[in-house]
């Protein structure tokens, strides 16, 4: 189930927010294609979070299947943790070929009630952290002459229908819209350097976080897609010719259809 000679053979991938949900699925799928995966999040043991899943669990699943991975605890709101994450990856494996910025912290609160502390925390984790982590990995990517950065967005980045009632997602949408513009701008800057930069939204996936926020209801439950679809799409966007596959604002279902992908069962 682990392809030692898969499409990511010899690649080192850092995946943030990989203790559960989409991040975990991406880490597993990359490992299945031969990548050495640096699994990062805040949760190391089950007693540290109210939602199920830890980076220890993710690494154990990869190793049990014959893959290679390490767990690095990181609170991406903290500068020291951001720098330590990349330093740990480089010390363990010698460099980062793929960076997946998936980690998020989200509060659904109306603008009139949104506290500054939580606003800054969301911006730090979902905008500044991807920006700085990219800064940290780019020197190595440039030195080796290749690399991929994949940012995880959301349909919340799309301008909403003003006639529909909101539920406090304005700041979340702001973060994701900023992340998408960062992606296309960085892709433009790196176009001639063999480094691809893309952004992808998952659609509606029944992750622990989505269930906690009660984002699935009677009206949208028919649109729920398996996490394997997102993992497969995220795999496709980190291999190939960067000049032909960069600066994309993608959605998982569209990538699956465009490339005629068959999502694999995860280890």
- Strand order, beta sheet including 36-41: 68-73, 36-41, 12-16, 98-101, 147-152, 195-201, 249-251
DSSP character at residue 56 = H
Catalytic residue from among 30, 50, 107, 172: 172
CA-CA-CA-CA dihedral for 153, 157, 161, 166, to nearest 10: 80
Tokens of 24: 């975990």
Whether the CB-CB separation of 89 and 11 falls below 8 Å is answered with: no
Whether the CB-CB separation of 56 and 71 falls below 8 Å is answered with: yes
As a whole number of angstroms, the distance between CA 31 and CA 47 comes to 26
Whether 251 sits among the annotated catalytic residues: the reply is no
DSSP code string of 179-206: HHHHHHHHHHHTGGGTEEEEEEE--B--
- Helix-strand-coil split of the chain, %, nearest 5: 45, 15, 40
Location of structure tokens 């700085």:
132
As a whole number of angstroms, the distance between CA 69 and CA 60 comes to 8
As a whole number of angstroms, the distance between CA 256 and CA 138 comes to 28
Tokens of 51: 């939602």
Active centre residues (catalytic)? 172
């Amino acid at each position: 189930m682990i392809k030692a000679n898969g499409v990511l053979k010899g690649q080192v991938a850092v995946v943030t927010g990989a203790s559960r949900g989409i991040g975990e699925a991406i880490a597993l799928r990359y490992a299945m294609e031969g990548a050495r995966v640096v699994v990062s999040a805040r949760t190391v043991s089950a007693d540290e979070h109210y939602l199920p899943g830890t980076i220890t669990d993710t690494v154990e699943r990869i190793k049990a299947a014959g893959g290679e991975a390490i767990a690095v605890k990181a609170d991406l709101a903290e500068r020291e943790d951001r720098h330590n994450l990349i330093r740990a990856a480089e010390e363990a494996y010698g460099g980062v070929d793929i960076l997946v910025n998936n980690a998020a912290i989200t509060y659904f609160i109306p603008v009139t009630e949104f506290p500054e502390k939580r606003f800054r925390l969301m911006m730090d984790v979902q905008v500044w952290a991807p920006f700085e982590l990219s800064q940290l990995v780019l020197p190595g990517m440039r030195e080796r002459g290749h690399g991929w950065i994949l940012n995880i967005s959301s349909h919340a980045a799309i301008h909403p229908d003003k006639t529909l009632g909101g539920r406090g997602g304005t700041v979340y949408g702001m973060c994701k819209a900023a992340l998408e513009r960062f992606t296309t701008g960085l892709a433009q800057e790196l176009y001639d350097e063999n480094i691809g930069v893309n952004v992808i939204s998952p659609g509606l996936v029944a992750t622990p976080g989505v269930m906690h926020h009660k984002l699935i209801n009677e009206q949208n439950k028919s649109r729920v897609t398996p996490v394997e679809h997102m993992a497969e799409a995220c795999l496709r966007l980190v291999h190939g010719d960067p000049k032909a596959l960069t600066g994309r604002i993608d959605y998982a279902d569209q990538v699956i259809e465009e490339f005629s992908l068959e999502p694999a069962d995860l280890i």
